[in-house]
Structure formats: C-alpha cells, structure tokens
C-alpha cells in the first residue's frame, strides 16, 4: 500500500525535496537514497515484520532510511535523541536492530536480543503483512506509552491527497506523530522540507527567510517564544502563508499577538494524537480558537463535555498499557471541549483541570491572562492540594526583564483579580527562570492520572 508514495517521489524528479545543513536534495536524489538504504537493509538481513529503531535528527538519510524500512514492510521506531529513555524504548518496542546516526551523519548499527514470543499486537501486524510504526509519548507524568500504528494505513490515506506543495519548515521531530505527518504530506504533494539549524526562534526565522518557507507547523509554546524574542522582526518572514499550531491549547493572548504580528499569514489549529493520527481541521478564522473537525476517515462525538474520536488510522494499541478503546473502537481523548454549532474549542486535558471548591479552572485561561500582564516570558499554571478547597491555583512565572519579585507577584495578582473570577486567581505565584516546556516544545505540566471512562 506504500508503493504509490515511492512512485510519486520518483515522479517529482529535480524538484527540491529536502534542504538540510546547507544541502539541497532533489526528489530524484532522495529516491536514490531510499534505494541505497533498501540495499543496506538486505545486507543487514532485515525482513518484513522486523523491528528497527532509527536514532537521528530530521536529516535526508534518516528520512530515507525510515521510508526504506516502511517500503520493506518493517516496523519502524523513530528515536530523536539518545536520551535517558533510549534503553526503555528499545526494550518496550522489542527492537532487533538499532541504526544510530552520529553528528556527521554516519550510521552505527547495533543488534539487540529479542524475545522469543512477540507482543500479540506485533504478531497481529505481522500477520496482516503491514509495515508498522511505534511512537512513544513524552511520558512527562510517568512511563512513556508505546503506540503501535499501521504505517501502510497512514500512507494510504495520502494517495488521493490534493493539497498544495508548500515549502515547509519541519519543527516537530520524527518521533512525534506531527513530524511523521509533515514528512508524509510534503512528500506526497511534491513540496520541499526545510530543517532549521536548531529549534531556537532565531534559527527558525533565519531558515524561513533564507529558504522562503511558506508553511510553519509548530506549537503554541514555540510561537510564544518566537513572539517574546522578537525574532520575527529581525528576519524577512514575508514568504510565510500558513502557520499551523497544535499539540496543546493555544492561549488566546498568544494567538492574538501572532495574528497582530503576521496579519497576512493564515493561522490554522490542528488536532491529532499518536493513538489516532492527525484529524483534518478547519479554523473558524485566523483569530479564533474554534475549529471544525473533519470526517475523512474520522468520527467524533462529545460525551459529558469530553471529545471521543474513532479513526481509520488509529493505533492497534499500546505495547505497555491496556487498550484505551471501548468496544466500538472509540477513543477517549481526555480533552474537555465546548461546542458552538459545528465548531469545537479545546479547553484542556481533563487531568489538568483544577477543582477549586467544586469550580473548574482551566490552566490555559489563567496562563493566557498572565501572559497579557506584561513582562511575562512564560507561565505554567497547575493545581496544588488544599485541605479547605481541594485545590488552589498556582502559577510558575518567568519574567522577560528583571523585576522585584514581590512587586511582580503583587502586580500579577492584581491583574488577574481584575480579569478573572476569584477562584481562578493564583493563590501562589512563584518566580522561576527555568524552562516551561519539554523537548517537544509542549508545556510541561504535572497532570493527575485519570482513568478511561466506561
């Protein structure tokens, strides 16, 4: 089912396919790299259904090897960095071969001992003869969950894709469903992938200006960083036509500031999960957090204010956790939403809602208010247990410029008091210069565990 993608890659010939570290790789050359890695897989003895981890950045050879594995019917495990969870990931995914690219792009091959009996879901995928993809959650609140997806299904849905061939900057890595989605969509439509030198605001804006990037898929956290740094004012971003944002709720103040800074750029909210794939969406307008969820391969329903989704590209299941699907194949996203006709707005994760004396507080609303107070670089809001009210609201704030802590706290609390209901006003405001995001540029919150409702 993935054969059409290889044919399409070859058909784009001398078009620019990937731009990375000053090198431009054409589609013709990229197809040759895929052929090279297919030959290497044969030499290494990789067969259909084998599980192979690919460790490396978003560079041409890593992308080519990932696709070569998919075309060979293998199960791919992308790992963006050799972090502390590498061994955990390799064991959970039952990896038999690891290919690690060093800083110079040279591959190192390592064989791993495998279990005699594979996980039942892996056996099911092998019996279907399909290529696979294993993605790990960030695991910010505990053990990372391993989602097993049918790679063939992810690719097959793109065969009839008719989207525009954008010059796209890749921001989310290949170990994230958004990074995989960007790669497959750009290749299927004959666009160009641009990788920045780093994921700092200046490096990203420099790459946009240098390579006339048209599409930037990113996260609200990074957008806020870019706005605070004022990097956009130092580079020519006039080529940008579309910015898509997802992975976490967007603060209204951040969206408004982005719309003001780049009024000619269309802003679109995306929605997806590793467990489901990326849903088609349509924002109400560039300044709105309301969006329509598409129905091409997806269904959704709202149960007690929580979004449930059924997807044709849904994972087979977790390799290290119970199935999250109900008997009819519906997945509880745990995202609390409100509706307005055909549109929905994501308020936040159910596990992140702060219950203050029976009243619900959504962290994103308080964060949006604090970001508008001035001299706030970033903020993270969470709940803290309280014997009287159950929880109280706590904010961790990083200022842009030095400001006397006591004065800053008093000013922020007054600002919130004049704009929020009393129970939403942070009881504690902590000044902290540390980072507020994980390596996927997503707000690093501490969530309380929740169970899947029956």
Report d(CA 417, CA 424) in Å as an integer. 9
Contact by Cβ (8 Å): 447, 351: yes
Question: Where in the chain do CATH 3.30.300.30 domains reside?
Answer: 353-431
Q: Rounded mean pLDDT of the chain?
A: 91
Per DSSP, the three-state class of 383 is strand
Question: pLDDT by residue (tens digit) across 137-192?
Answer: 876 556 789 999 999 999 998 988 777 899 999 988 999 999 999 999 999 999 99
Query: Tokens 């898509």 sit at which residue?
Result: 244
Query: Tokens 């052929």 sit at which residue?
Result: 35
Return the percentage of the chain with pLDDT > 90, whole number: 79
Report d(CA 332, CA 454) in Å as an integer. 10
Contact by Cβ (8 Å): 194, 187: no
Output the CA–CA distances (angstroms, integers) from residue 353 to 311, 349, 449, in the order listed.
26, 7, 11
> Is 3.40.50.980 the CATH number for 29-156?
yes
Report d(CA 97, CA 91) in Å as an integer. 11
Tokens encoding 23:
């090198």
Report d(CA 111, CA 446) in Å as an integer. 36
Identify the bridge partners of residue 346 per DSSP, sorted by sequence position.
337
Judged against a pLDDT cut of 60, whether residue 116 lies above it is answered with: yes
* H/E segment holding residue 34: helix 27-44
CB count within 10 Å of CB 342 equals 11
Question: Where in the chain do CATH 3.40.50.980 domains reside?
Answer: 29-156
368: Cα separation from own chain's centroid? 21
| pLDDT in the model for residue 448 | 44
Question: pLDDT by residue (tens digit) across 119-133?
Answer: 999 999 999 999 999
Q: Which residue has the higher pLDDT, 446 or 101?
A: 101
| pLDDT in the model for residue 115 | 77
Output the CA–CA distances (angstroms, integers) from residue 73 to 58, 128, 179, 254, 394, in the order listed.
21, 10, 20, 43, 49
Pick the CATH number of 353-431 from 3.40.50.620, 3.30.450.20, 3.30.300.30, 1.10.10.370: 3.30.300.30
Question: pLDDT by residue (tens digit) across 68-85?
Answer: 999 999 999 999 876 668
* H/E segment holding residue 389: none
Q: Which residue has the higher pLDDT, 382 or 142?
A: 382
User: Taking residues 363-374, what's their average pLDDT?
Assistant: 93
Q: Write the DSSP symbol of residue 231.
A: G
Question: pLDDT by residue (tens digit) across 317-348?
Answer: 999 999 999 999 999 999 999 999 999 999 98
Threshold 0.85, pTM exceeds? yes
Question: pLDDT by residue (tens digit) across 184-230?
Answer: 999 999 999 999 999 899 999 999 999 999 999 999 989 999 999 99
What is the three-state SS of 412-453? HHHHHHCCCCHHHCCCEEEECCCCCECCCCCECCCCCCCCCC
Judged against a pLDDT cut of 90, whether residue 454 lies above it is answered with: no
Contact by Cβ (8 Å): 63, 101: no
Q: Which residues contact 117 (CB under 8 A, 6 or more apart)?
A: none
Query: Tokens 């990931």 sit at which residue?
Result: 89
Report d(CA 174, CA 305) in Å as an integer. 32
Confidence of residue 3 (pLDDT cuts 50, 70, 90): confident
User: Taking residues 258-271, what's their average pLDDT?
Assistant: 95
Confidence of residue 32 (pLDDT cuts 50, 70, 90): very high
| pLDDT in the model for residue 453 | 38
Identify the bridge partners of residue 51 per DSSP, sorted by sequence position.
75
Question: pLDDT by residue (tens digit) across 435-444?
Answer: 777 766 676 6
Per DSSP, the three-state class of 173 is coil
Tokens encoding 76:
């791919």
* H/E segment holding residue 408: helix 405-417
């Amino acid at each position: 089912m993935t054969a059409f993608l290889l044919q399409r890659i070859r058909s784009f010939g001398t078009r620019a396919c990937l731009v990375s570290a000053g090198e431009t790789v054409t589609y013709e050359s990229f197809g040759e790299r895929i052929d090279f890695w297919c030959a290497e897989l044969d030499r290494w003895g990789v067969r259909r259904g084998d599980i192979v981890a690919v460790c490396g950045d978003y560079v041409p050879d890593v992308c080519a090897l990932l696709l070569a594995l998919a075309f060979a019917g293998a199960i791919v495990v992308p790992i963006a960095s050799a972090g502390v969870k590498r061994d955990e990931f390799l064991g959970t995914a039952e990896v038999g071969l690891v290919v690690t690219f060093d800083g110079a792009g040279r591959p190192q091959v390592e064989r791993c001992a495998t279990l005699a009996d594979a996980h039942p879901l892996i056996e099911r995928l092998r019996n279907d003869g399909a290529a696979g993809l294993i993605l790990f959650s960030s695991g910010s609140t505990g053990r990372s969950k391993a989602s097993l997806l049918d790679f063939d299904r992810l690719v097959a849905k793109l065969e009839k894709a008719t989207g525009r061939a954008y010059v796209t900057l890749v921001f989310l890595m290949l170990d994230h469903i958004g990074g995989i989605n960007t790669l497959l969509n750009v290749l299927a439509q004959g666009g160009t992938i641009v990788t920045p030198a780093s994921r700092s605001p200046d490096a990203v804006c420099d790459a946009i200006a240098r390579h006339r990037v048209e599409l930037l898929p990113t996260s609200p956290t990074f957008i806020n960083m870019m706005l605070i740094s004022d990097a956009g004012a130092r580079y020519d971003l006039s080529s940008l036509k579309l910015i898509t944002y997802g992975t976490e709720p967007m603060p209204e103040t951040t969206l408004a500031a982005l719309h003001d800074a780049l009024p000619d750029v269309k802003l679109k909210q995306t929605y997806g999960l590793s467990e489901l794939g990326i849903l088609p969406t349509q924002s109400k307008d560039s300044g709105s957090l309301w969006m329509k969820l598409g129905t091409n391969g997806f269904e959704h329903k709202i149960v007690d204010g929580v979004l449930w989704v059924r997807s044709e590209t849904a994972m087979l299941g977790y390799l290290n956790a119970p199935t999250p699907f109900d008997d009819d194949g519906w997945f509880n996203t745990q995202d609390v939403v409100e509706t307005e006709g055909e549109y929905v707005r994501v308020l936040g994760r159910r596990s992140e809602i702060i219950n203050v004396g029976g009243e619900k507080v959504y962290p994103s609303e308080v964060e949006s208010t604090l970001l508008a107070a001035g001299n706030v670089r970033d903020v993270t809001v969470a709940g803290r247990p309280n014997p009287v009210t159950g929880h109280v609201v706590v904010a961790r704030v990083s200022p842009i410029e030095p400001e006397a802590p006591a004065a800053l706290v008093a000013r922020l609390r007054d600002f919130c008091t004049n704009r929020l209901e009393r129970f939403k006003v942070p009881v504690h405001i902590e000044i902290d210069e540390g980072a507020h995001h994980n390596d996927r540029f997503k707000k690093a919150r501490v969530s309380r565990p929740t169970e899947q409702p029956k």
